[in-house]
Amino acid sequence: MRFTANALKLSPIKPALLAAVLLLLIWLGLGLTPQPLLVNRANGSYAVTDNNGHLLRLSLTSDEKYRLWTPLVELPQTLQNATLHYEDRWFYQHPGINPVALCRAVLSSLVPHNRWMGASTLTMQLARQRWRLKTDTVTGKLKQMAYALWLERHFSKTELLQAYLNLAPYGANIEGAGAAAWVYFHKPVSALSQDEARALALIPQNPSARAPMTPAALQRLRQAWRTAYGDDPGFDRLWFRLRKDLPFRAPHFSERLHALHPDAATLPSTLDTTVQELSEELLAGFLRQHHLQGVVNASVMVVHAPSMSVLGYVGSADYFNRDIQGYVNGLKAPRSPGSTLKPFIYAQAIAQGLITPDTRVKDTPLRMGDYQPENFERNFYGPLSATDALVRSRNIPAISLLAQLQKPTFHQFLLQPGIPIPKQAANYGLSLAIGSAEISMEDLLRLYGLLANNGELKALRWLNQTDPSPQANKPLLLPEAAFLVREMLETNPRPQRSFGGRSFGQQQAVAWKTGTSSGLKDAWAIGIMGDLMVGVWAGNFDGSPNRHLVGRELVGPLLFGVLDAIAMERPMADSDAKSPTGLKRIEICPLSGQPVSPWCPRGKTGWIIPGVSPIKTCTLHRRIRINPANGLRLCPDDQRQGETRVAEFWDSDELESFRQAGVRRDNPPAFERSCDDATESNAAANPPKIVSPQAGVSYPVRAGQQNTIEFSAISAGGRHRLFWFVDDDFIGEGTTVFWPGKPGQFAVAVIDDQGQSASAAFKVVPTD
């Protein structure tokens, strides 16, 4: 910093007065004052780069400055040397003020019309910048000197040089060499060439005139270069950028990364610019296509599954569009996930030995206390394999399985990876299966990482650097269960229509699942292909519904468009999720999904986990004997000659679902006579099952009104009639009957036509 006698308005100063002032300043500098805060790093910019080191964003500070903290070890030695040579050659020798330069400046000022020679040291300039001093008066200049001595008293030369290079003015609102390097050269200061570093060193002496933001300023900087470095041609090799050229890419990602690492100034991220641009391009096209349907906002997130590195992160359709609240980060916001959590119910059920991928589950009407869930399409498919139930996203089988999970329950399972579920399990009940607990896309992809990484929970990776203390991966799912569920999801066919996808050779298998929240407010699709995971969401941040917000139909095509486009642009590695050694293939019945009996049709194999999976032999197909004279079934103890057949023994609710779907399934014929229970062993193994009322549940009745309570049961295969009793009083016949409720405690029993029975105790309570 240079100043003139006119600017300071100095009158001749007697040597004695000058000596007194100097002694006072030295006294101030050696005083027992507390160490000041040299640089307020809390109010600094942050720079986010992609996985190739290219700048995504350089943020402004709260006072609208570009000020990026950079350690001295990252500042090129060329920049340090040039700065000291040009600004303060005696920096390491003086105590904060340079007495020789100061005396020379004072003596020079005594000569009329003579120009005041520069006397500010680098430490004095730091003091002026740190405390925003006005130094164009004698008082201001003396304060500057006092603060310089004070700084030298408390800090080392290395600390002072580091602070100066982080606070020095480089034009307009650019402070510090770290920010200046990004603004003018779009690279970190550590990567500056010699010529770039020497050019930067010339700016702080006169930033308003030399900051290369206009052609005139560029010429003045060129002249300063010639004065400092002679005819060195390096300046002509430089290419200066302008502030308006600073990129503003992936804004939601940059803000998210800064929130995760608030103390870091430079954030080298995992973001892949190609993946990001493809995601943004496809998302914009998707919304243009569906704009007339009122679909105006969506989000996309792409993760490299083996490392869980975030490759793409589009938080909304348009960050700057306030009409859609585009500044909101949709990937971080908790939303109802619809059916996207169902794969983990099936994974738990497999791990707990309840099912295999081929086990027959029921998609039939279900009542659990007062809760009577429905499927999205309001219909029932009847019996189907667990794989089909998951792929078709049937609610009833998922809810039924969730009710059976123990140690951990599904609620406990979701808490293990640290998902912030705010309510207790009782507040959600069985509706957890269909998305009653809100979850963010980030957490959802962490969960799907279990399927891609053999059941191991891995944290999302945001920084493109080695973690000095990596966290151990946490086994959360049985590896065999994770593999089987992923394989189940790979049978889910691609959407019939596509969006933005480009066909290429042999397509890789995609394990994918969609979800639609209750009330049609959120549409989700999550997919795993090779080493990639992609999640897409469409909806409105204000929670408004839209009948088009259906996962499979709306965002399924977008999911495949993103997957296919990325696969064309970057090598797609195979998944790390290989077939675990703890699996075994066995022959199973194609209809029941159970290990074959001698009477099952052949030709299908399926996975089991030995020692875990249910391996009860198929009971759906049974051998019976028929009296050819009347077509009725003979009892097992009947010694008469009969015609042997193999019959299918479906439960009554399954047969009803088949009937509604127009599928013909014949019941075994009725017995010719009542059989002895001791000899009809198959009957004893399959008593009827009461669906409603449920044991231990209280049912309300309102006084003065006609109240009825539904009794319903499932009859085991081959039974034709069900008889109902309440406290030994007969009340009706059929799979469903209605009983006029009255307050009290009761026992209900149901008996089939072979004498097999089931019972339950329940309570009826009056309400106002």
Query: Over the stretch 421-440, which tens digit does the pLDDT of each residue have?
Result: 888 888 888 889 998 999 99
Torsion angle, alpha carbons of 748, 754, 756, 759, to 10: -10
CA distance 555 to 188: 39
For residue 543, the domain's CATH number is 3.40.710.10
Q: Is 128 a domain residue?
A: yes
Q: Among 357-366, 380-389, 693-702, which is the least confidently predicted range?
A: 693-702
Q: Residue 725 sits in a domain of what CATH number? A: 2.60.40.10
Mean pLDDT of 588-617: 91
Is 612 inside a domain boundary?
Answer: no
Based on the domain organization, do 81 and 142 belong to the same domain? yes
Asked if residue 133 and residue 14 are part of one domain, the reply reads: yes
Residue 26 within any structural domain of the chain: yes
The kind and range of the H/E element at 313 are strand 309-314
Instruction: Produce one character per residue of 151-181: b if its CB has 16 or more CB atoms within 10 Å, e if not.
Output: bbbebeeeebbbbbbbbbbbbebbbbbbbbb
Tens digits of residue pLDDT in 689-704: 888 887 767 788 777 6
| Same domain membership, residue 234 and residue 151 | yes
The answer to whether residues 358 and 210 belong to one domain is no
Residues 233 and 364 in one domain: no
DSSP state of 173: T
The pLDDT of residue 23: 45
More confident of the two residues 323 and 466: 323
Let me know whether 217 and 315 are in one domain. Answer: no
Q: Are residues 387 and 498 in the same domain?
A: yes
Which of residues 569, 604, 621 is at a domain's end? Answer: 569
pLDDT at 471: 63
Answer whether residue 6 shows pLDDT above 60.
no
Whether 628 is covered by a domain: the verdict is no
Helix-helix angle 157-167:122-130, to 10 degrees: 60
Task: Give tens-digit pLDDT for 39-68.
Answer: 878 889 999 999 999 999 999 999 999 999
Q: Which residue has the higher pLDDT, 552 or 143?
A: 552
- Quote the pLDDT of residue 153: 86
**Does 24 fall in a domain?**
yes
| 171 and 104 housed in the same domain | yes
pLDDT, residue 9, reads 43
pLDDT at residue 760 in the model: 87
Q: What is the pTM of this model?
A: 0.86
Q: Which residues form the domain of 72?
A: 5-245
Residues 203 and 347 in one domain: no
For residue 651, pLDDT beyond 90: no
Residue 513 located in a structural domain: yes
Task: List, in order, residues 6 or more apart from 551 with CB less than 8 Å away.
Answer: 338, 339, 340, 514, 515, 516, 523, 524, 525
Which of residues 37 and 223 earns the better pLDDT score? Answer: 223
Question: Strands (DSSP E) along 333-422, which ranges?
Answer: 360-363, 382-385
H helices present in 131-263, as ranges: 138-154, 157-167, 177-185, 194-201, 207-210, 215-229, 251-260
Residues 719-756 pLDDT 10s: 668 899 999 889 988 888 888 888 888 999 998 877 78
Rounded Cα–Cα distance for residues 671 and 121 (Å): 110
Kindly state whether residues 93 and 158 are assigned to the same domain.
yes
Asked if residue 646 belongs to a domain, the reply is no
Does residue 586 belong to any structural domain of this protein? no
**Does 514 lie in the same domain as 372?**
yes
Check: CB of residue 362 under 8 Å from CB of residue 396.
yes
Kindly state the average pLDDT of the residues 76-88. 93
482-500: pLDDT as tens digits = 999 999 999 999 987 656 5
Task: Give me the CATH number covering residue 96.
Answer: 1.10.3810.10
Whether the per-residue pLDDT at 128 is higher than 80: the answer is yes
Query: What number is the average pLDDT over the span 505-512?
Result: 78
Count of domains observed in the chain: 3
For residues 131 and 201, membership in a common domain is answered with yes
Q: Residue 135: its pLDDT value, please?
A: 79
Please say which residue of 554, 569, 584 terminates a domain. 569
CA distance 27 to 16: 17
Q: What are the DSSP calls for 94-120, one per residue?
A: SSSS-HHHHHHHHHHHHSTTPPPPP--
Amino acid in the structure at residue 414: L
Final residue belonging to a domain, choices 209, 224, 245: 245
